[in-house]
Structure 1
Amino acid sequence: MITYSSNQPNLYLVGFMGTGKSVVGRRVAEALGMVFLDSDRVIEEKEGRAIRDIFAQDGEAYFRDLECKFAQMGHPKRGCVVSCGGGMVVPDYVRDLLKERGVVVVLHASVDVILERVSEEGHRPLLEGEDRRERIEALLQSRQGAYADAGEVVRTDGLTVNEVVRRVIGIYRLNEPNFPL
């Protein structure tokens, strides 16, 4: 295993819910000897409540503001692999900030794969009350430009977690020299 010091640039994993950001992020962090952070978990810890409760009590706009604050000052500037919430990179300034601080990799999965994965998981506030497939398609369409602009894309359909991890590490190693101390 190659060990990276805390001086290494951050690696940000972005993409839609259910694309594997947290699972892949943990494994990449372990392989690179970096700290793993999940922006949603950090926000939950700081707020003292679950994401679903934040949405229910304060709404999506409040949650998006918390995501922006996390991107600006809620995590170390180096030495981390960060799994970002699915909508975090929608605002241009957040996307730009992450790209300035580290390597951004977008994980992509098909609607069918996302639907299968989120059906196995718990509560997803943005998918409530409507046909999940239609909602996923609409959200993906609305975020397509942000994801395309965020970073290099890894298509995860048909790949094992280890294959995705290897691809993400490869992209990181290629781009890491662009972030000198």
Structure 2
Amino acid sequence: MNPAPSLFLIGPMGAGKTTVGRRVATQLGLDFFDLDHEIEERSGATITLIFELEGEAGFRKREMELLTEFSAKPGIVLSTGGGAILAADNRRHLRERGYVVYLETTIEQQMKRLAHDRKRPLLAAPDRRERLARLAAERESLYHETADLIVPTGFNGSSSATARRLVEELNVLWQRGSAQASPGQAA
């Protein structure tokens, strides 16, 4: 959607959505929100605990509720979780309410960035590489379907370089404007 009032970042875990998102928000003078952080804040529980108690389905329900709420906020940068694009309603909200950037990464980059991460429930597997490859196979087409812009991460190996490059592209491609209210969305 262009023009769009907000910027939404999608992509797999370890793509740099939170780190790049914070930098981009600062450079563009927009408020930044991380959907996973907001889920933890609202629930008072970690993502890991939510998965343990409610399973992935319970987590995805919470994710959908907050994505619906936050995607309606104008003038923000929102970093989504890697699986947020699994629900058709989430993809629709992202496309209709903002400019969507897919931060694309490789399995190798994910392996490096997530080497010491033990907090992600979907990464708790004997073979992390196989798990990341399976998730990529399941989600890659949905990222492409949802995105207005695809930006490879790991640009010069730096999140700040990726953020600078993204802002340069956004300054050319993204028309920051106000969204038309859609059914069920406050203007």
TM-score (norm 2): 0.86
Aligned equivalents of 2:136, 2:20: Cα separation in 1: 20
The CA deviation string for residues 43-102 of structure 1, in whole angstroms up to 9 with x for no partner, is 000000100000011100111111111111246521111110000012222112111111
Higher relative contact order (CA 8 A, sep 6+): 2
Could you tell me which of 66, 71, 83 is aligned with 1:70? 66
Q: Distance in 2 between matches of 1:91 and 1:70?
A: 13
User: Structure 1 regions of 5+ residues with no counterpart?
Assistant: 1-7
Tell me the equivalent position of 1:3: none
**Using the alignment, how far apart are the partners of 1:158 and 1:81 within structure 2?**
20
The aligned counterpart of 2:34 is 38
The one-letter code of the counterpart of 1:108 is: E
Count residues with an aligned counterpart: 174
Offset at residue 172 of structure 1 (A): 2.9
Q: Partners in 1 of 2:88 and 2:169 — Cα distance?
A: 22
Secondary structure of 2:9 counterpart: strand
Q: List structure 1 runs of 4+ shifted beyond 4 angstroms.
A: none
Following superposition, the deviation at residue 121 of structure 1 comes to 2.8
Separation in 2, partners of 1:84, 1:100: 15
The answer for the alignment partner of 2:174 in structure 1 is 176
Cα deviation, residue 20, structure 1: 0.3
Q: CA deviation at 1:37?
A: 0.3
SS in structure 2 of the partner of residue 86 of structure 1: coil
Q: Between the two proteins, what is the percent identity of the paired residues? A: 37
Contact 1:11 1:104 in 2 (8 A): yes
Any stretches of 5+ residues in structure 2 without a counterpart? 180-187
Deviation at 1:150, TM superposition (A): 1.5
Instruction: Indicate if the aligned counterparts of 2:40 and 2:46 stay in contact, CA closer than 8 A.
Output: yes
Structure 1 residue 22, shift from structure 2 partner: 0.5
